[in-house]
Chains A and B, each alone.
Chain A
Amino acid sequence: MKKQKRRSLIGDILGLIFAFLIFIIPFLFMLTNSLKDRRGANQMSLSLPDVFHWENYTEVLTFNHGIVLTAFKNSLIITAGAVILLIVTCAMSGYVLQRRRGKVMSVFNAVVMAGLMVPPAILPTISLMQGLHVYKTLFGMIMIEVALQTPFTIMLYRGFMSTIPIELEEAGYIDGCNRGEMFTKVVFPLLKPVTATVIILNAVNIFNDFTNPLYFLPGASNSTVQLTLYNFMGQFSSSYNLLFADVIVITIPMLILFIIFNKKIVEGMVAGAVKG
């Protein structure tokens, strides 16, 4: 017994050392360099700043008429808009796809499966968006994110529906619910746990998305958080303190989200991966 205890203690210590060296140091590196002056940060060392330059953060946030704040606003609009639409459309689809059988359903299910793997066809999408006059608009960007996250979200809802007993619906019909009431008053409230997963996972994915805004939302006025960070890479190539201040500004919301929803995020990622 004593031997086992000592072995697990050694495991704890080794685990902490490795985790610190491999996973924590890069974050300390970001943090400490975001608080140095320009010359200090450009040396790219892990040392503590001599003086804490908190003004780096105000400088980043007010740079170019507050482009970072505008980008945060845009990213939040896109994320919130897409997540709300995804919840409504995919909960409805997942519900019917799980309950109904038949040839049409197999086609839908096959398309959902394929949609999990296949990347978007970028240029034809741009061309089509131009035709619809939604290219370079927040609305168009929201639609793209919804379309790309639809297979994954439907899969989560469909998977969860299979755990809801059909008897609850039968009881609803006896009480005189119609189809719409059935979904809004009986089924949708029961989907709450998976809806929470859907919100968190999609919010993280969409907020962190760089590639799609790069293609579908170019231009300074509509910039998103990830695009501004990418552009700063060029603009701040000789002032790493500001670059890392922006990195920290973008990372902190995720850290807060992770501290609050740790379990939900991890469980959701596992559920999404295993069912896909």
Chain B
Amino acid sequence: MNKKKIYTLWFLIPSTIIFSIFFLIPLVSSLFYSLTVWDFKSFTFVGLDNFKMFFSERSLSTSVIHTLIYAFLTCALKVILAFFIAIFLTSKIKTKNFLRSVVFFPNLVSTIAVGITFAALMHPTKGLFNLVLSTLGAGRIDFLGNTSLALFSVIFTDVWKGVGVATVIYVSGIQSIDKTYYEAASIDGANGWERLKNITIPLVRPAMNSVIILSLIGGLRSFDLIWAMTGGGPGFATDVVSSVVYKQYAAGFYGLSTAGNVIMFVLIAVIAYPLQRFLLKREES
């Protein structure tokens, strides 16, 4: 059989055409347009001015910091919380299938719907969260109106919505661990913590790597939840790079907006890509 003849490149043509026109070509041309001032019809080349502007204007440059905080914190919380939820949901409890579904379902709900609901739950005077706090005797908290708190309130909601996917990835990783390891460990007299430390954690590492990469990239790109809950506010307190891209586009600064887009590519390229390489290498060794 002549493999080259059978597995013809013609089969790749439809995907390649659509992917090139609607993804690759814009991606490449964004590198150029980020160096211009343009309005879709004409452009003037301005060199690195857009990037200089981005990093000298505090309202814009903080968005990079917020993006990093958002991505790393949502990622860390999901990696840790989901691990313990998954340990619990693979133990010998009867309701585990039901509980897995309950934890997972928020992932399928529209992000805007989740944002609206949690914005209401976090309402400064009437929200349910504050009702609970005041019955516990604590003061009211303005979860989304306080500039130093708003970002963390959105992060909390993101983790609520996304922890389920991380959990089911861990669950499948834990279930694929050979039961005989645990049996051997029990015979050797290992207690629960030792089994967790010496068997579960090392062997669940591939699943953990998937969770890390998936949630980190998701965090770096996130836009819709922030947009629905705070719109980047109060002030610029929850602006991330992707919301700056939208705001500058809406304001008509297309070159600046495209520069923001390019900064997002760079962030992902210098953080997510080397991290994935590193994690895969560690997994192999």
Contact = CB atoms under 8 A, between A and B. Distances in A.
Interface size on B, as a range, is: 35 or more
A250 B110 contact: yes
Contact of A119 (B6, B126, B242): B242
Contacts of A78: none
Given A11-B92, A118-B265, A233-B112, 9 more contacts: A44-B127, A45-B131, A99-B6, A121-B30, A124-B25, A124-B258, A130-B40, A244-B117, A270-B172
B7 A147 contact: no
A65 interface: no
A150 B18 contact: yes
Nearest to A43: B126
A117 B8 contact: no
Interface residues of A, number: 96
7 interchain residue pairs of minimum CB distance? A121-B30, A147-B22, A124-B26, A125-B26, A100-B7, A89-B14, A92-B11
A126 interface: yes
Interface of B: 1, 3-4, 6-9, 11-12, 14-16, 18-19, 21-27, 29-30, 33, 40, 88-89, 91-96, 99-114, 116-118, 120-121, 123, 126-128, 131, 160, 165, 168-169, 172, 206-207, 210-211, 213-214, 217, 221, 223-224, 227-228, 242, 245-246, 249, 254, 257-258, 261-262, 264-265, 268-269, 272-273
B106 A23 contact: yes
Interface string A164-195: 00000110010000010011000000000000
A251 B120 contact: no
A137 interface: no
Interface of A: 4, 8, 11-12, 15-16, 19, 22-26, 29-30, 33, 42-46, 85, 88-90, 92-93, 95-97, 99-102, 104, 108, 111, 115, 117-130, 132, 143-144, 146-148, 150-151, 154, 169-170, 173, 179, 182-183, 204, 208, 210-211, 214-215, 225-226, 229-230, 233, 240, 243-244, 247, 250-251, 254-255, 257-258, 262, 265-267, 269-270, 273-274, 276
A15 B96 CA distance: 9
20 contacts: A26-B114, A44-B120, A97-B12, A108-B12, A117-B217, A117-B268, A118-B268, A119-B221, A121-B262, A122-B26, A125-B26, A146-B22, A150-B15, A154-B15, A208-B108, A211-B223, A215-B246, A229-B113, A230-B112, A258-B108
A116 B1 CA distance: 33
What's the dominant secondary structure at chain B's contact region? helix
Given A97-B12, A119-B221, A210 B110 contact: yes
A123 B33 contact: yes
B110 A208 contact: yes
Given A12-B94, A117-B217, A146-B18, A104 B9 contact: yes
Contacts of A25: 128
A96 B8 contact: yes
A266 B100 contact: yes
Contact of A122 (B40, B207, B261): B261
B118 A266 contact: no
A11 B242 CA distance: 41
A180 to B, nearest CB: 10
Contact of B40 (A43, A45, A119, A127): A127
A92 to B, nearest CB: 4
A211 B120 contact: no
Contacts of A257: 108
Given A44-B128, A96-B12, A123 B254 contact: yes
B103 to A, nearest CB: 6
Nearest to A169: B6
Contacts of A182: 6
B128 A45 contact: yes
Contacts of A276: 210, 213-214
Given A8-B91, A243-B116, A265 B15 contact: no
Contacts of B4: 100, 102
A124 B33 contact: yes
A229 B116 contact: yes
B102 to A, nearest CB: 5
A211 B168 CA distance: 26
Contact of B117 (A108, A117, A247): A247
A121 B213 CA distance: 21
B112 A229 contact: yes
